[in-house]
Each structure stands twice: as C-alpha cells, then as structure tokens.
C-alpha cells in the first residue's frame, strides 16, 4: 500500500519537512507531478537542503526515489541537483514516460507572461505550462525518446514546424532544432542509466509488500481543475494526480496526509481572500522567511483560511492534517481565522466557482508568546493548544502533526 502527502493550500506548506520526517519508514518515495518550478526545503542541524525535482527520500540511504511519469523534467536542472548527491545508482529512478522541458518551452512561457501584462498569471517562467501543453496536445518529447536520437530529432523538427509562427508573434528567436538536439544528446548518457518503467517498478514493490510514500508538489488550491483557475499550475496537484502521475490505482492509496501552514501564503497572482497587505502580512513574511525555494520571490501572506482548507481536505480525502510553522505566529497579540465568506449579500461556508467575489469572515483568537522548538503538545501555551484544537474542529480533519520550527526534530505528534 501507499501513503500520500499533499499540500492543502497554495503550495509552500512545508511538505518537504513532513516527507523527510516520514521517509525513513518507507522503501520508496515518489514525486508524481510538477517540475523544477516547485521546491522543498528541509533543515537538518541548521543546514538547509533545497530539493526541486528529486524526491525528499533522497536524504535516506535506504530509500529508493522515483520521479514519476506525471513530472515534467528540465534535464539541466535535474543534472545540477543530482550532482549534489553521491551513489544515486539504484536509489534514483526516472520514468521513461516523463516529458522533457525543452529550451523553447521556457522562452514561450516568459514571452506569453510578458504579453499578458497585468493579466499575467505569475508563473515561474520555467517552461512548465508549455511543456504540459505539448503533453496534452500529444506533441511532447519523453525521456524514452533519448534512446533513439533519429526519432528524437524528427519529433523536435515536427514540433518546430508547428510553432515557427510564435517567433514573430512574441518577438523571440527560437533556438535551432540542431542546437536543441545536440544539447540533449550531450547529456543523455548521464540521464539514461536512471530511466526505467517506474510504474512496473512500483507494481513490483507492491507485490513484495514494500512501503511507498507519494510526495506532491505545489498545493491543492493550484490544481488545474479544482484550484483558483486560471491562476493555477498546469498539473493535477490533488490526490487524484498521484494515481495518474505514478501508475498506482486509487485503491492502492491507504492514507492521505494533508499539509497546511498555521497561516496562509501564496506566490504569484490570483485570488487570496485572507491576504494581509500591511504590517501583519509583512510580519508573517519576515518571521516565516516566506521567500520561494525555487525563485526567491516574496510570498503573499495572510491568515489561515479554514474554508479553503476544509474544501481541499474534502477534495483529497485527507485522513489527517499536519499544521506547519506554528512558531511563526509567536508574538501576535491576536490571530484571525477565516471561518466563512460574504458572497453576494449572503454568508457562505463553501468555495464558489467565482471565488474572486468572496470576502472573509473572521473569528479572532488570543495570541501567545512562544511555541518555537516545543516538541510536546501539552508544553504549548494554552492559547496555542486551543488554536490547534479549534482548527481541527473547524476544518473537520484530525490534526496529527504540528511543526514548531524548520528543524527535523521540532515536530509534535498529536
């Protein structure tokens, strides 16, 4: 059976720490969607380790790590990350069905964003959307194509025949087919030893009774179907994506563990009902060091949105929640939680499709002095204990883990 860790907000919830904390109990850790636009930061003995494509289980020698078919891969970014680790052979496996982000994907991503001006989505500009676009239009290049250079060149030439018009449309100059093929061929020998049929690998692992942990990227509110469209990512970030992005069946997934911050953040544009644009938002940003692992961009910050979390928990079928970064709320005299919305003259407790029309309804909680580095629930200040218990009640989901610092061991099991 497999367990799944999934983000419940707009990403950056702290999934990496929980995967890292749990990975030691598993034989396989699987990344199943997204690209190098995502990042997980893990802190061990005050040392920060940033992962973008490699699963978080890579930090455990006994773990086998899979980059699944649902991931889109920038070869240069992957190789750079791989160089930070030794002895990856037999520990890292990459799906032969995973799609490759090609140089023109990044160029098109940036050009399209620039052309939208104020309507821009706020992407990382790393080519993720255009690559998924090629995949869905059945026009993509997969890692299995690295085995056949002649076929690879023919595929890329066919793509170029279709997209040549974009050069004048966006005022860009695409790299030549020859240069793209030449680059891929120059690095393919470093990648191919790790490329395999990862779906069959996972099925074999299940037959042997081995334990599998599925690791999501981004967050549920950025899901292509159920997120705040069009300000979303280009993949399925909810639990359903774990099946399509790995080859496992829904019945193979035993536990779904949702990850949410004790407050809320978002990167890029799009609706964010509880955003605080003044001093409160700035205090959360500074205390939480809310700057992107991958891009360094400042994150928008605001109060915990219990309506959105309840919605995402239902979408994913969460068995439990992990509440991260409780310590960031230390020192606030009062803390707010969104428990409903004002919507077209009514009060509602759900997310409407025209989400941009809502205004938050808050419930206020007493603040506390210090939770940082506490590892036992009963040692938390009474106000913090009450806050966690009420979040559990409002979201309708058991809170099983509370994190009180980035450090691996500063984790409360409830």
Give CA separation, 335 vs 54, 112, 302, 341, 352, in Å: 36, 39, 10, 17, 25
382 marked as binding residue: no
84 marked as binding residue: no
16 marked as binding residue: yes
Closest CA to 342 of 330, 331, 357: 357
240 marked as binding residue: no
37 marked as binding residue: yes
Question: Among residues 40, 97, 112, 336, which one is catalytic?
Answer: 40
413 marked as binding residue: no
Q: How many residues does the chain have?
A: 414
245 marked as binding residue: no
Question: Among residues 36, 52, 105, 135, which one is catalytic?
Answer: 135
Give CA separation, 125 vs 150, 178, 181, in Å: 30, 24, 22
253 three-class SS: strand
| CA-based torsion, 182, 160, 231, 259: positive or negative | negative
11 marked as binding residue: yes
Q: Is 189 designated active site?
A: no
295 marked as binding residue: yes
9 marked as binding residue: no
325 marked as binding residue: yes
Q: Is there a contact between 19 and 217 (Cβ–Cβ < 8 Å)?
A: no
Q: Is there a contact between 27 and 240 (Cβ–Cβ < 8 Å)?
A: no
Q: Is there a contact between 152 and 141 (Cβ–Cβ < 8 Å)?
A: yes
The crossing angle, in degrees rounded to 10, of helices 75-82 and 177-191 is: 30
Closest CA to 399 of 409, 408, 411: 411
Q: Is 336 designated active site?
A: no
Dist CA 77 CA 83 (whole Å): 10
Q: How many CB atoms lie within 10 A of CB 310?
A: 20
78 marked as binding residue: no
Dist CA 23 CA 42 (whole Å): 12
218 marked as binding residue: yes
Burial (CB count <10 Å: 0-12, 13-18, 19+), residue 154: middle
Dist CA 253 CA 214 (whole Å): 9
281 marked as binding residue: no
14 marked as binding residue: yes
294 marked as binding residue: yes
297 marked as binding residue: yes
Q: Is there a contact between 31 and 53 (Cβ–Cβ < 8 Å)?
A: yes
126 marked as binding residue: no
Q: Is 40 designated active site?
A: yes
Q: Which residues are annotated as a binding site for Mg(2+)?
A: 12, 39
Q: Which residues are annotated as a binding site for IMP?
A: 12-15, 37-40, 124, 138, 218, 233, 297
**Active centre residues (catalytic):** 12, 40, 135
Q: Which residues are annotated as a binding site?
A: 11-17, 37-41, 124, 138, 218, 233, 293-299, 325-327, 403-405
């Amino acid at each position: 059976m497999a367990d799944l860790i999934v983000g419940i907000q707009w990403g950056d919830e702290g999934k990496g720490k929980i995967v890292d904390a749990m990975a030691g109990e598993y034989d396989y850790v699987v990344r199943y969607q997204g690209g190098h636009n995502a990042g997980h930061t893990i802190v061990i003995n005050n040392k920060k380790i940033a992962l973008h494509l490699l699963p978080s289980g890579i930090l455990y020698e006994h773990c086998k790590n899979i980059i699944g078919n649902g991931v889109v891969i920038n070869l240069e970014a992957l190789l750079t990350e791989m160089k930070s680790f030794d002895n990856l052979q037999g520990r890292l496996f990459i799906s032969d069905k995973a799609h490759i982000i090609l140089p023109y994907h990044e160029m098109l991503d940036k050009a399209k964003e620039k052309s939208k001006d104020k309507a821009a989505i706020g992407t990382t500009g790393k080519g993720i959307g255009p690559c998924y676009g090629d995949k869905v239009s059945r026009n993509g290049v997969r890692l299995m194509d690295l085995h056949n250079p002649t076929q690879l060149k023919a595929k890329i030439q066919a793509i170029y025949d279709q997209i040549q018009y974009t050069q004048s449309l966006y005022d860009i100059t695409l790299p030549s087919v020859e240069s793209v093929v030449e680059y891929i061929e120059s690095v393919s020998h470093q990648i191919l030893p790790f490329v395999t049929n990862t779906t069959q690998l996972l099925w074999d692992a299940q037959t042997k009774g081995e334990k599998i942990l599925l690791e999501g990227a981004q967050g549920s509110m950025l899901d292509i179907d159920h997120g705040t469209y069009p300000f979303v990512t280009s993949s399925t970030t909810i639990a359903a994506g774990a099946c399509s992005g790995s080859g496992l069946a829904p019945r193979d997934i035993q536990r779904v563990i949702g990850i949410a911050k004790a407050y809320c953040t978002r990167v890029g544009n799009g609706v964010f009902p509880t955003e605080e644009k003044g001093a409160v938002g700035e205090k959360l940003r500074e205390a939480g060091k809310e700057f992107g692992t991958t891009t360094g961009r400042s994150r928008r910050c605001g109060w915990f949105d219990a309506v959105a979390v309840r919605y995402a928990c239902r979408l994913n079928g969460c068995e439990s929640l992990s509440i991260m970064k409780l310590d960031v709320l230390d020192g606030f005299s009062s803390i707010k939680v969104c428990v409903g919305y004002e919507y077209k003259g009514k009060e509602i407790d759900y997310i409407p499709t025209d989400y941009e029309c809502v205004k938050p309804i808050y419930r206020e909680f007493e603040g506390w002095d210090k939770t940082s580095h506490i590892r036992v629930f009963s040692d938390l200040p009474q106000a913090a204990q009450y806050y966690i218990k009420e979040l559990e009640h409002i979201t309708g989901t058991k809170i099983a883990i509370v994190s009180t610092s980035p450090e691996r061991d500063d984790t409360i099991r409830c």
